[in-house]
Structure 1
Amino acid sequence: MTRFFKVLLFVFAFFGSAPILYAQQIKDGETLNLNGLDVTFRILNKEVTDVKGVSFDKYKVSATVKNNTGKSYNARLTTYPSVEAIAASKIVELNCINATGAKLTSKKLDVNMNEHRIVVTYLTMNKEGKTVNSTMTITVGYYLDPGQTVQGEANFIVPKGETPQVNVHTLQ
């Protein structure tokens, strides 16, 4: 492996794990302040589910983020849809350490900012060959203004008798 790739691998490993280093544990009903973002985690529902003959606990959970920073978060897009656009929409990530991911359930919950959409009018040809105005709605960015709240939900399956062990960190 060349020296360049070794350095590149080190940089990705170091910076890729940086958000996890600053994660804080959050419990049901608790609110944490992460640099002015109030994150509240709640368990909405619990049920028992079987996966290949083994019982697990399935939790429906939600996370609410309120912007108390006094500033707006904005992410302008240059292209949509793209991987960068999806990443730009996320403001907080909650990771369930003991989630199994069974039955296509989540191991993490991303809370996204609000979509900023606009209606675009453009000229096009109709079936008769006549030029007409058409419209479409496109996403041009994401935002979270001061005082606004956003929410996300997920399902976590954890071993029977355990509650979700969740870490939270900001992505902005």
Structure 2
Amino acid sequence: MKKSIFMALFFVLFSLTKFYGQKITDGATVDVSGLAVTFNILNKESVSVGGKNFDRYKVSATVTNNSGKSINMRLANAPQIVMNIGLVEVNCINATGAKLTSKKIDLKPKPHNLNVTYWAYNKDGKYESSVIPVIAGYYLDPGDTVSETGIFIVPQGEAPDVSVRKLQ
């Protein structure tokens, strides 16, 4: 009985750390499983949306791989739409999403591009080779950094309430 209660408590605590992120403030850096995430407010201005006043923040988020290991995501050999390649999610809890602005920023690894040569007939009927760039996968080597920017609109007088969590 005690063992099952302990296991249930352990499972609840483990799942909470996976789903809920760490708080981060302007200019701070947080370590998320070997990934250093930095959040910065670049600009602030007041806007009016639907007769109400809000604060509009232009922000940036950066992730640096400090894990000592390379992160690689290889794609299958068939054409596919890749949606879930994010490494880290920077989520603004009090963002309204007004005026089609962001509520979160997903930091994704770098694409690994390959040039593929293929043969086809052109519009004149001549058989010729062409080169097309293809994404073969995604990577983030040790020490590599990727950045994204976004715009958060929050209620006037409030600063962005931001948390960070690892996605992969």
The answer to whether TM tops 0.5 is yes
How many residues matched? 153
Any idea what SS the aligned residue of 2:99 has? helix
Q: Percent identity?
A: 52
Distance 1:86 1:34 in 2: 21
Aligned to 2:19: 20
1:108 Cα offset (Å): 0.5
1:140 Cα offset (Å): 1.2
* Residue 136 of structure 1, aligned match among 104, 122, 132: 132
With the length of structure 2 as denominator, give the TM-score of the two structures.
Answer: 0.86
1:104 Cα offset (Å): 0.1
Aligned to 1:146: 142
* Residues 44 and 68 of structure 1: CA distance in aligned 2, closer, same or farther (over 3 Å): same
Any idea what SS the aligned residue of 1:19 has? helix
Distance 2:38 2:61 in 1: 5
* Residue 48 of structure 2, aligned match among 47, 50, 57: 50
Aligned to 2:163: 167
Aligned to 1:8: none
Distance 1:28 1:37 in 2: 17
1:128 Cα offset (Å): 2.8
Runs of 5+ unmatched residues, structure 1: 1-15
Q: Deviations over 1:1-20 (max 9, x none)?
A: xxxxxxxxxxxxxxx98732
Distance 2:80 2:151 in 1: 26
* Residue 60 of structure 1, aligned match among 53, 58, 74: 58
Q: Does residue 122 in structure 1 map to residue 118 in structure 2?
A: yes
